[in-house]
Structure 1
Amino acid sequence: MRPRNGIEIESVLPDSPAEKAGLQPDDILLSVNSHSLRDAIDFMFFRSAARLLVEFSRNGIKHRVQIKTDEGTDPGITIKPFKVKTCKNNCVFCFVKQLPKGLRKPLYIKDEDYRLSFLYGNYMTLSNIDSCDRKRIVDQRLSPIYISVHTTNKSLRNKMIGNPRASDIMKELKFFSDKKIRMHTQIVLCPGFNDGIELQNTIKDLYKFYPYVSSVAVVPVGLTMHRKQQLNPVTKEDALRAIEIVAPFQKRFQKKHGDPIVYCSDEMYIKAGINFPNLKDYGSLPQIENGVGMVPLFLSQSKKIRMAKTISQEGQKIITFTGTSFYPFLKKFIDRLSEKEDIHVDVLPVENNFFGNAVTVAGLLTGRDIIKNLHDNTDSYRVLLVPDVALKEDEDIFLDNVSLKDVEEATGLKTIRTEATPQGFIDAIGTL
């Protein structure tokens, strides 16, 4: 049961300042240097002093200890996750609502939490924050935060997010801009809603808050075959029009600020069937986790791989897989390795039967689809390289709870989790 007041310790690092002070897992931290604690962010904010006077509760009894650290040193405590604030919107494009049954339970959580936005870069609409939340973001400098804007047209935005009471996003952005809070924003492009002139106007409006609105990503709406709401997918023509709208802004912003500010996602260029911009045109890659610049970065890294002095496959035939959109780029990289380095790996494009073939990225492939595709393609192979983007960050399981062990048992292949980078690919082969 979560404590009503304070935050609960999940683990204490051996020989850490916290352990030396006597703190233990399941202790409830109540305050640090007289500052009450609501969640892990409070602890992060107040722990920077060299001496921490900690009040905590153990078995209902309050205690006080002093933790001595070098200033800014981690005292060695991991805090249990806080309860996530959930989304009350009814977005026309909500991906969570398009999920079928049978996936990992956390995937069905519609989070709308400014703390997750600050900690992990999760996008939020700012539709459920109050004055206390705004004050905390400013006071504790929780920056940058990541905001789903979609459109700056208030009535259209409220319609798109299914919340007629949502506040005016322009007023929210102005508030945080005035307080010098950095923001990264996204526009989920939905044809017939926020494309065309609406997209142009939204980019113009967001630019008014530069540099505090530090970047704008334009990404195509993701649609699964399980969606109930009628929504048009982004076609090749839609993608081309979006890129044509964005390009002049990029050119003007680059000339004026040395920063393109607004970017189309990789998927937009793939849908349009045109080349990506040069990697240098993505600036500092501020939205790479949003699929902006991932493929150009991979292509650039593929030219700079470090080969081990000896890599031997020892007769082991290797196969890997990816989503259908990334397949041509991974195949080209692997073919070049085969020509220059005598490394032979086959790559299998896996169609997404679970979500529908409109979903083309490796990160949304299920274990069942991978097994199904491998069944007819595993003859003579011994090893399967599994890109980590298809797996849970801290565990070897896919979206549908199928594990790497399940894949091994179903296919007879030895599975190796690999970092989804050119060097990670090479390093994985080097372990054979």
Structure 2
Amino acid sequence: MAKSGVKIEHVHTSTPAYKAGLKEGDIILSINRHSIKDVLDLMFYTDEDFLKITVEREGKKISFNIKKKAQPLGIEVEPFRVKRCVNKCLFCFVEQLPKGLRKSLYVKDEDYRASFLYGNYITLTNLTQKDYERIKKLRLSPLYISVHATDPEIRNTLLQNFEAPPIMMELKKLARMKIRMHTQVVLCPGFNDGKVLERTILELHKLYPYVSSIAIVPVGLTKYHKNGLTPVTKNKAEEVIGVVEKFQKRFRKKHGISFVYLADEFYIKAKMSFPPINIYDDFPQIENGVGMVPLFMDKAKKLRIPSMKLKQRFVTFTGTSFYPYLYEFIERLKKKNIPIDVYPLKNNMFGETVTVTGLLTGEDIIRGLAQYVEPGDFLLIPDVTMKDSDGIFIDNLKMSDIEKILKIKAIKISSEPVYLLKEIKNQEKYCGQ
């Protein structure tokens, strides 16, 4: 990590940076006389056609004049050191992790830069005045913000940070800067549900359109949870759905959008049908598990499936909550003579209350599929099980370990129905038609 400036890690060939003579290891000090601290400065100050870039190379300063026009500059720089979270949230998932998992899982980040770049949620509890000034100057919009409750006392109790500033005060600062915000509420029964939830929705709505959406997600509790929180039950899910759907009708009438959205898990827990696909608008919170299942079902329904003649068998898996929906799609594939089976896997690492696919471990996969797969099968592994890693599951097992132990060929796939079908087609040459 460079003490000042930002180090170039890679220069792509045939790009303006490459042609100008920038090299890996160069430390970018300034662009058009603006000091460069990290990738955000780089993004902001390279949005011009003509650039004067000053770098440090082997202790010497060198300047380059680059005519970029509409092309990307063509460099990759070192990542910034992420600011860590100091909250002790009652529901913090990181605090519910056992030892021995992938190291990146234990990082509790609270960095506005990662919020802008990657959609990471932040609580706004560690921002300085300079941070706010930089957000305004660089127009870092949208940001993703964990609210949980607009009632200061309840929010601070959930965060276990009793010095945190009132969240509405912080949100109003960003609204005055015309920064867009996507917010979330991790619903913890007995804390921020009922009237507290209604107040939170109403107060956040006052900042519309700068607060552009609210996602309500149920608290996730593993078997290692020690703070006495209770999970969302069927009755609680039904109650929350009733509250949110009333607000959605009101907001759609007033603004033409739902504004507040429920995580899919509420409908799954309540054993209720999902709302029409248009309720999710442009899916602003899909990475938060909001509308992911309905969108999958909608895309699967519209997908044209050709008939195939394949001898090789395909196998895939999912968490228990998504199984009924994926099973429906897999049955359609089987009717087209595609030999494929899907199995629901229980989460032995975190406990059976954790039902999402993305938190299944390599060991869960091996143990869960051992009795079903046969040597030579093609195992289609959803990429969400290896998120933020290169073929490594959260318990540090690799795809090659799965292949060796189960004696099968493993293929990482995107979870969308079209990519699942595409991967099957791609394997036709191996399947001995």
Asked if these proteins are the same fold (TM beyond 0.5), I'd say: yes
In 2: Cα distance, 1:233 partner to 1:260 partner: 26
Report the residue type matching 1:265 in the other structure: A
Report the residue type matching 2:208 in the other structure: Y
- Please give the residue correspondences for 1:18-417 in structure 2 after superposition, counting only pairs within 5 Å: 18-71=17-70, 73-307=71-305, 311-313=308-310, 315-339=311-335, 341-379=336-374, 382-393=377-388, 395-417=390-412
In 1: Cα distance, 2:109 partner to 2:368 partner: 33
Counterpart of 2:9 in structure 1 is 10
- For residues 338-378 of structure 1, give each alpha carbon's deviation from its aligned partner in whole angstroms, at most 9, with x where no partner exists: 22x22221101000000111111111111111011111111
Q: Where does structure 1 lack aligned partners over 5 or more consecutive residues?
A: none
Report the residue type matching 1:427 in the other structure: K
Deviates more, 1:216-225 or 1:13-22: 13-22
Task: Report how far residue 230 of structure 1 moved.
Answer: 1.6
In 2: Cα distance, 1:38 partner to 1:245 partner: 45
Deviates more, 1:143-152 or 1:97-106: 97-106
- For residues 27-86 of structure 1, give each alpha carbon's deviation from its aligned partner in whole angstroms, at most 9, with x where no partner exists: 110000000011000000000111110111112211111122114x21100011000001
Report the residue type matching 2:41 in the other structure: D
In 1: Cα distance, 2:66 partner to 2:389 partner: 30
Report the residue type matching 2:51 in the other structure: L
In 1: Cα distance, 2:318 partner to 2:82 partner: 32
In 2: Cα distance, 1:278 partner to 1:191 partner: 26
CA contact 1:311–1:429 (8 Å) conserved in 2: no
- Report how many aligned residue pairs link the two structures: 427
In 1: Cα distance, 2:157 partner to 2:318 partner: 36
The percent of aligned pairs where both chains have the same amino acid is: 51
CA contact 1:318–1:381 (8 Å) conserved in 2: no
CA contact 2:215–2:290 (8 Å) conserved in 1: yes
**TM-score when scaled to structure 2?**
0.97
CA contact 1:319–1:381 (8 Å) conserved in 2: no
**Which consecutive aligned stretches of 4+ in structure 1 deviate over 3 angstroms post-superposition?**
none
In 2: Cα distance, 1:312 partner to 1:55 partner: 60
In 1: Cα distance, 2:52 partner to 2:325 partner: 54
- For residues 309-364 of structure 1, give each alpha carbon's deviation from its aligned partner in whole angstroms, at most 9, with x where no partner exists: x6442x1111100000000000011112222x222211010000001111111111
CA contact 2:216–2:262 (8 Å) conserved in 1: yes
- For residues 410-432 of structure 1, give each alpha carbon's deviation from its aligned partner in whole angstroms, at most 9, with x where no partner exists: 10011111110110110011012
Task: Report how far residue 381 of structure 1 moved.
Answer: 5.9
Task: Report how far residue 113 of structure 1 moved.
Answer: 0.3
CA contact 1:306–1:423 (8 Å) conserved in 2: no
Report the residue type matching 2:230 in the other structure: N
Task: Report how far residue 380 of structure 1 moved.
Answer: 6.2
CA contact 2:375–2:406 (8 Å) conserved in 1: no
In 2: Cα distance, 1:179 partner to 1:17 partner: 34
In 2: Cα distance, 1:393 partner to 1:156 partner: 33
CA contact 1:92–1:160 (8 Å) conserved in 2: yes
**SS of structure 1 residue aligned to 2:301:** coil
Report the residue type matching 1:185 in the other structure: T
In 2: Cα distance, 1:429 partner to 1:174 partner: 50
CA contact 1:312–1:430 (8 Å) conserved in 2: no
- For residues 7-45 of structure 1, give each alpha carbon's deviation from its aligned partner in whole angstroms, at most 9, with x where no partner exists: 011100012111111111111100000000110000000
**SS of structure 2 residue aligned to 1:151:** coil
Report the residue type matching 1:175 in the other structure: K
- For residues 97-129 of structure 1, give each alpha carbon's deviation from its aligned partner in whole angstroms, at most 9, with x where no partner exists: 111112111110000000000001000000000
Task: Report how far residue 283 of structure 1 moved.
Answer: 0.5
In 2: Cα distance, 1:301 partner to 1:398 partner: 27
CA contact 2:305–2:333 (8 Å) conserved in 1: no
In 2: Cα distance, 1:32 partner to 1:46 partner: 6
Report the residue type matching 1:376 in the other structure: Q
In 1: Cα distance, 2:309 partner to 2:46 partner: 49
- RMSD, aligned CA: 1.2
Deviates more, 1:37-46 or 1:226-235: 226-235
Task: Report how far residue 3 of structure 1 moved.
Answer: 1.3
**SS of structure 2 residue aligned to 1:302:** helix
